[in-house]
């Protein structure tokens, strides 16, 4: 697990492009929102001041839904976004590209625009107060089915919003393979809308290959199990697909035993453009600071850590002029 108090890489500028905004909710915010929204919580979900506790992956999913279920209002989304960006700024993060879920917001009675407007306002206020830039990706959720994902994508395309810069596919990759979603992602590609896809976290190389060939991503969420097929690794390098790796997440969910056995360093050494990210921070006792510290601990040099930041910003879905402005801070 990440050690929260280490500061060995604090001086290195960072970027985060794989984090679920709803899952950044800290235990203190969770308690606050629960009280505000009159939601009863069991104390056994809290592991510490910083993190939640859970037994196995299925328990994690259950508790994830309980914890994020306290987010009820646009006011909650504003506070959630602002507090997360404030924390990131304290870790010397220049840019955040976080995933959001209109499915969650609508289930709580919010409109598409009301929750996004609050996220955007918090983003602007955090940029003013801390200098951190952020944009957002709308996620389609695999296990809600192909129709749900398509409707979410259509809503994004038909309702441009200044907070949104791309579309992602998340959720259960084991039971909802890429071929179910080709119609939606062909539509997104036709509109030249930026795409990232979760693949190669729980399933292996064939799922990653299908995601690349069928869904047209320029980035892959996780993608680390590509290491099991070196021909696939070569294809990822040749197509310049960037991996949004989340080592602490993968260790917490027992995909890998420790940082030393995690393939992020090997993938980097094979020429893959990797980034490092915190995924669902308080569920894994993770921070973006801790991810960079852990990478330094397994042999990434300072120039290599900076290259991960550069990879994240260059592969982000931010406009080119804004990318260029942020990248000047790495020189």
Burial of 191 (0-12, 13-18, 19+ CB in 10 A): exposed
The catalytic residue among 16, 79, 201, 291 is 201
Q: How far is CA 258 from the centre of its chain?
A: 20
Where does the chain show beta strands of DSSP type E? 14-16, 93-100, 133-141, 164-170, 195-199, 219-222, 242-245, 274-276
Contact 168, 139 (CB under 8 A): yes
Is 201 catalytic? The answer is yes
Contact 70, 32 (CB under 8 A): no
- Number of neighbouring beta carbons within 10 Å of residue 57: 13
Which conformational region is residue 171 in: left (phi greater than 0), alpha (psi within -120 to 50 degrees), or beta? left
C-alpha to C-alpha distances, 299 to 57, 137, 239, 256, 325, nearest whole angstrom? 29, 31, 26, 17, 29
What does the block give as tokens for 1? 């697990």
C-alpha to C-alpha distances, 179 to 137, 183, 224, 242, 276, nearest whole angstrom? 21, 9, 20, 21, 28
Map residue 152 onto helix, strand or coil.
helix
Contact 21, 98 (CB under 8 A): yes
Which residues are known catalytic residues?
201
């Amino acid at each position: 697990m990440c050690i929260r108090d280490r500061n060995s890489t604090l001086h290195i500028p960072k970027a985060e492009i794989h984090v679920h905004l709803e899952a950044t909710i800290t235990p203190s915010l969770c308690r606050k929102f629960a009280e505000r929204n009159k939601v009863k919580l069991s104390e056994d979900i809290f592991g510490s001041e910083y993190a939640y506790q859970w037994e196995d992956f299925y328990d994690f999913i259950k508790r994830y839904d309980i914890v994020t279920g306290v987010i009820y209002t646009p006011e909650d989304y504003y506070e959630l976004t602002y507090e997360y960006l404030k924390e990131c700024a304290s870790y010397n993060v220049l840019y955040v590209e976080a995933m959001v879920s209109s499915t969650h917001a609508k289930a709580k009675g919010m409109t598409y625009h009301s929750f996004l407007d609050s996220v955007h306002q918090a983003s602007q206020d955090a940029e003013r107060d801390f200098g951190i830039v952020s944009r957002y990706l709308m996620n389609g959720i695999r296990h809600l089915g192909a129709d749900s994902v398509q409707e979410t994508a259509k809503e994004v395309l038909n309702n441009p919003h200044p907070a949104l810069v791309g579309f992602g596919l998340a959720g259960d990759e084991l039971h909802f393979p890429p071929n179910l979603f080709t119609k939606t992602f062909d539509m997104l590609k036709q509109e030249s809308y930026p795409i990232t896809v979760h693949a190669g976290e729980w399933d292996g190389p064939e799922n990653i290959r299908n995601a690349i060939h069928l869904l047209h991503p320029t980035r892959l969420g996780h993608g680390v199990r590509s290491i099991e097929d070196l021909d696939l690794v070569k294809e990822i390098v040749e197509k310049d697909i960037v991996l949004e790796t989340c080592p602490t997440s993968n260790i917490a969910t027992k995909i890998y035993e420790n940082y030393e056995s995690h393939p992020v360093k090997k993938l980097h050494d094979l020429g893959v453009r990797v980034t490092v990210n915190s995924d669902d921070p308080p569920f894994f006792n993770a921070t973006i600071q801790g991810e960079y510290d852990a990478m330094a601990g397994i042999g990434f040099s300072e120039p290599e850590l900076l290259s991960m930041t550069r990879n994240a910003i260059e592969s982000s879905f931010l406009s080119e002029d804004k990318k260029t402005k942020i990248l000047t801070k790495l020189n």
